[in-house]
């Protein structure tokens, strides 16, 4: 680690545990900071808080009392999911205390250069592709962020001989001040998390913080087919490298005559790429740009693209039962993700959708619903999705209680040759802790058939 002395003797409040809060608390405590941890869950139900208490860290659980800030803190590290409207966060900001996420801590401490990937959709697939493409390069890639291990936990052991490939969300980026990737990738921008950010404009600005500290020695990889992303990257200091599935670009990745190019180098024929769907071509082009800039070899890139079939819970093939193919796309937590998932299939699709209501309607999904054979709906948003399906003119609409029931009903409604696709278009938090839990419930239900 570098800059380890900057936290020694500091008084730091960590608000919200989960994986990121736990990792940040342990690391900062190790670096000599005086830590107080505050978490909503009561202490007797909070294994993570009890773990920290045992190593001498003060924990305050069961709510977010404002009195915590009667003491002076040098820094607040908040869980990314806690909104800035939280009264404790508001009070910290009013007192002039910096409020950051653990991503900021990782950036300050990492000896390894960082490749950061953000966007409304495709982050995990692109992050995984870059990681795999760099496996044969001079620097050993490490993967971190939303995709798995907490960034500051990976940064703790990262060396100059590594490169840190990190998936970053708008929630994390909002809590950064000095976060400085060597290569910043911005894939796309669509309506998502508006319950957190308030407006699409604010959401875009949060994403664009990935560029805030780039220098002329750094790289900015952006989607030339997305006008908003291009606008948000207009004044970036880093060297701009673009990708496009629609046209040839001068400095980046593109497709011409069914061949994938990076700058003037022909990489691979589109027909040889295993990962399905047009949306994944965008992810692939972005990954090629970042990987090439970081020193990946073309041979390794080709090897990845001819073998990599997708990430778990992202249009993941599960199995075939009686000539019905089952796909798990539980990561589709917004309408765009569901639209691109459905568009990846030429077969008749029975769509399983529903989940947490974020206040939006689903009219934007109507053109996609017109293309599916039927829908099986569940969760808080079931009635809204049912209304959208009726407006789309669908005759096959079923409403059930949960994902497990949805699998059984979809199978009963299906015919040979159909695709049964879980692509919820909603967050999972009404019935599950994470989208991964939702996907596992789907897989279990399919296997139980």
Q: Which residues are annotated as a binding site for ATP?
A: 119-125
DSSP 271: G
Length of the chain: 449
Nearest-angstrom CA–CA distance, 102 and 283? 26
For residue 183, what are its two tokens? 């290569």
**Closest C-alpha among 336, 300, 372, 365 to residue 133:** 300
Nearest-angstrom CA–CA distance, 172 and 101? 6
Known binding residues: 119-125
> For residue 88, what is the enclosing H or E element?
helix 87-94
Nearest-angstrom CA–CA distance, 168 and 151? 9
CB-CB contact of 313 with 331 (8 Å):
yes
Strands 75-78, 11-15: pairing is: parallel
Q: Which residues lie closer than 8 Å to 263 by C-beta, 6 or more apart? A: 251, 252
H helices within 115-198, ranges in order? 123-133, 151-157, 170-174, 194-197
Nearest-angstrom CA–CA distance, 428 and 425? 10
């Amino acid at each position: 680690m570098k800059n380890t002395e900057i936290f020694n003797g500091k008084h730091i409040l960590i608000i919200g545990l989960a994986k990121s809060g736990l990792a940040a608390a342990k690391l900062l405590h190790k670096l000599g900071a005086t830590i107080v941890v505050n978490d909503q869950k009561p202490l007797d139900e909070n294994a993570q808080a009890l773990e920290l208490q045992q190593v001498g860290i003060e924990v305050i659980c069961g709510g977010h009392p404002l009195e915590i800030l009667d003491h002076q803190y040098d820094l607040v590290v908040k869980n990314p999911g806690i909104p800035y409207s939280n009264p404790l966060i508001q009070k910290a900001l009013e007192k002039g205390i910096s409020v950051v996420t653990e991503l900021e801590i990782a950036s300050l401490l990492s000896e390894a250069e960082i490749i950061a990937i953000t966007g409304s959709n495709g982050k995990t697939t692109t992050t995984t592709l870059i990681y795999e493409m760099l496996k044969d390069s001079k620097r050993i890639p490490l993967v971190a962020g939303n995709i798995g291990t907490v960034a500051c936990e990976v940064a703790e052991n990262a060396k100059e001989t590594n490169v840190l490939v990190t998936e970053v969300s708008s929630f994390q980026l909002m809590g950064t001040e000095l976060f400085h990737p060597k290569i910043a990738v911005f894939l796309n921008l669509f309506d998502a998390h508006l319950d957190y950010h308030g407006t699409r404009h604010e959401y875009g600005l949060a994403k664009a913080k990935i560029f805030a500290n780039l220098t002329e020695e750094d790289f900015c990889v952006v989607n030339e087919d997305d006008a908003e992303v291009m606008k948000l990257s207009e004044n970036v200091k880093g060297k701009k490298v673009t990708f496009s599935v629609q046209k040839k670009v001068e400095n980046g990745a593109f497709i011409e005559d069914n061949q994938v190019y990076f700058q003037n180098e022909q990489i691979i024929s589109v027909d040889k790429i295993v990962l399905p769907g047009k949306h994944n071509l965008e992810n692939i082009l972005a990954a090629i740009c970042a990987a090439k800039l970081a020193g990946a070899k073309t041979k390794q890139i080709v090897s990845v693209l001819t073998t990599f079939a997708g990430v778990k819970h992202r249009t993941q093939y599960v199995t075939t039962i009686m000539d019905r193919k089952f796909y798990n796309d539980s990561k589709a937590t917004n309408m765009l993700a569901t639209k691109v998932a459905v568009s990846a299939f030429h077969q008749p699709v029975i769509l399983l959708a529903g989940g947490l209501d974020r206040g939006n309607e689903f009219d934007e999904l109507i053109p996609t619903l017109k293309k599916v054979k039927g829908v099986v709906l569940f969760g808080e948003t079931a009635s809204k999705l049912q209304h959208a399906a009726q407006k789309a003119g669908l005759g096959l609409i079923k409403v059930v209680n949960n994902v497990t029931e949805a699998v059984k009903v979809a199978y009963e409604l299906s015919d040979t040759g159909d695709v049964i696709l879980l692509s919820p278009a909603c967050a999972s938090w009404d019935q599950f802790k994470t989208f991964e839990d939702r996907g596992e419930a789907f897989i279990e239900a399919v296997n139980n058939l």
